Amino acid sequence: MHYLAARFDERTDPAAYFAGAASVICVGMNYHVRLGEGDAGESSVRGRIARYALGADYHEVVKDRLHALADWLRETAGGRTRAAVDTAPVMEKDLAARAGVGWVGKNTCVINEGIGSWLLLGEILTTLPLPADEPAVDRCGTCRRCLDACPTHAITAPYQLDARKCISYLTIEHRGEIEPALQAQMGDWL
């Protein structure tokens, strides 16, 4: 994930990514879907896929909605806008926490008090100076369920993630062989 080191100035300053940015509107979309039972006649060989990867590409879904909101904002209040999802050089989790969408939990995901961590994040950068919302309050407390439940021990300490061990990284971005110890810990995740 060497790309994370690139464009550091843009990642840490929205105005460096979008000239004139005065505000960032942060949104979270709930991606939780209820999973159905498999057909009894199917093969017994199965694998699991993360819920955010089911259905249409979430990047397109979120971006389409962000563009519609940005169009409305420009028509209503003026200014310039730029929409961003997780492929843009924007510190989306930090911005979402600062905007009150949720707090960054010990699992390093944004957690919303009502939705949990079933969130896809998006941002609209705008040249409009908008009032800021209150930041989210970290409500993890002494809970450590995410640390204890992580099958690959990718959450190495509260608020710390070793992405090289994360199932999401291993199944999407990692190229090449997955070391056997991690393969065994991944279970049936594809």
Active site residues: 86
Query: What CA–CA distance (Å, rounded) separates 82 from 46?
Result: 41
> Looking at the chain, how many residues does it have?
190
Say if residue 33 is exposed, middle or buried (CB neighbours under 10 Å; 0-12, 13-18, 19+): exposed
82: left (phi over 0), alpha (psi -120 to 50) or beta: beta
The two structure tokens encoding residue 169:
């990284």
Q: In which element (H, E) is residue 123 found?
A: strand 119-126
Rounded to whole angstroms, how far apart are CA atoms 86 and 121? 7
Q: Of 126, 122, 115, which Cα lies nearest the Cα of 59?
A: 122
Distance CA 32, CA 27 (A): 16
Query: Do 104 and 93 touch, CB atoms closer than 8 A?
Result: yes
